[in-house]
Structure 1
Amino acid sequence: MAEVRIAAEPRNEFGKGAARKIRRASKVPAVLYGHGIDPKHLTLPGHEVLLALRTANVLIRLQGDGVDELALPKGVQRDPIKGFIEHVDLLLVKRGEKVTVDIPVTTVGDVSSDGILDQQLVSVSIEAEATHIPTGIEIDVEGLEVGHVITAGDLKLPEGSTLIADPETVILQVSAQSAAEPEGDEESSEGEAAAAPAEEAAE
Structure 2
Amino acid sequence: MDFFLERSHGFSFLFHRRTSRVIHIHIRMPYIMQFVALGIVHKEAVKQMSNTQPLFQLIAERRSADHKSTLHQLREEGRVPAIVYGAAAENIPVHVQGRDLKKLLQQGRAEMFELTVGADKPIHVVLKEVQSIDGEPKHADFYVVRENQPIKANIPLEFEGTPIGVSKGGIVQHVVTELEVEAPAKLLPPSIIVDLASLDVGDKLHAADVKLPEGLTLIAPPDTLLASITAPQSSQAADDVVEEDTAE
TM-score under structure 2 length normalisation: 0.66
Of 131, 137, 144, the residue aligned with 2:186 is 131
Q: Return the alpha-carbon distance in structure 1 between the equivalents of residues 235 and 128 of structure 2.
A: 37
> What is the DSSP-based 3-state SS (H/G/I as helix, E as strand, rest coil) of the residue aligned with 1:131?
helix
Map 1:180-199 to 2 at 5 A. Answer: none
Give yes or no for the alignment of 1:55 onto 2:110. no
The percentage of counterpart residues that share the same residue type is 27
Q: Which amino acid aligns with 1:69?
A: I
Q: Return the alpha-carbon distance in structure 2 between the equivalents of residues 74 and 14 of structure 1.
A: 20
Map 1:66-145 to 2 at 5 A. Answer: 66-80=120-134, 83-105=135-157, 106-112=159-165, 113-145=168-200
- Conserved? CA contact 2:89–2:144, under 8 Å: no
Of 145, 170, 174, the residue aligned with 2:225 is 170
The answer to which of 128-137 and 152-161 deviates more is 128-137
> What is the DSSP-based 3-state SS (H/G/I as helix, E as strand, rest coil) of the residue aligned with 1:3?
coil
- Conserved? CA contact 2:111–2:185, under 8 Å: no
The answer to which of 55-64 and 91-100 deviates more is 55-64
Q: CA deviation at 1:8?
A: 1.5
- Conserved? CA contact 1:8–1:65, under 8 Å: no
1:110-144, Cα deviation, whole Å (9 max, x unpaired): 33214222221111111111111123232332252
Unpaired runs of 5+ in structure 1? 183-203
Pair 1:155–1:128, CA change in 2 (3 A): same
Give yes or no for the alignment of 1:16 onto 2:68. yes
Q: CA deviation at 1:71?
A: 1.2
Q: CA deviation at 1:67?
A: 4.9
Unpaired runs of 5+ in structure 2? 1-29, 31-53, 238-248
Equivalent residue for 1:37?
A: 89
> What is the DSSP-based 3-state SS (H/G/I as helix, E as strand, rest coil) of the residue aligned with 1:54?
helix
Q: CA deviation at 1:65?
A: 2.4
Equivalent residue for 2:213?
A: 158
Q: Return the alpha-carbon distance in structure 1 between the equivalents of residues 77 and 173 of structure 2.
A: 45
Q: Return the alpha-carbon distance in structure 2 between the equivalents of residues 50 and 151 of structure 1.
A: 31
Of 192, 204, 209, the residue aligned with 1:149 is 204
Q: CA deviation at 1:51?
A: 1.4
Q: Return the alpha-carbon distance in structure 2 between the equivalents of residues 87 and 67 of structure 1.
A: 23
Deviant stretches of 4+, over 3 Å: 178-182
Q: Which amino acid aligns with 2:196?
A: V
Q: Return the alpha-carbon distance in structure 2 between the equivalents of residues 49 and 103 of structure 1.
A: 18
CA RMSD of aligned residues (A): 2.1
Q: Return the alpha-carbon distance in structure 1 between the equivalents of residues 74 and 121 of structure 2.
A: 19
Q: CA deviation at 1:162?
A: 0.1
Q: Return the alpha-carbon distance in structure 2 between the equivalents of residues 180 and 40 of structure 1.
A: 59
Q: How many residues are treated as equivalent by the alignment?
A: 180
> What is the DSSP-based 3-state SS (H/G/I as helix, E as strand, rest coil) of the residue aligned with 2:201?
coil
Q: Return the alpha-carbon distance in structure 2 between the equivalents of residues 48 and 93 of structure 1.
A: 20
- Conserved? CA contact 1:108–1:138, under 8 Å: no
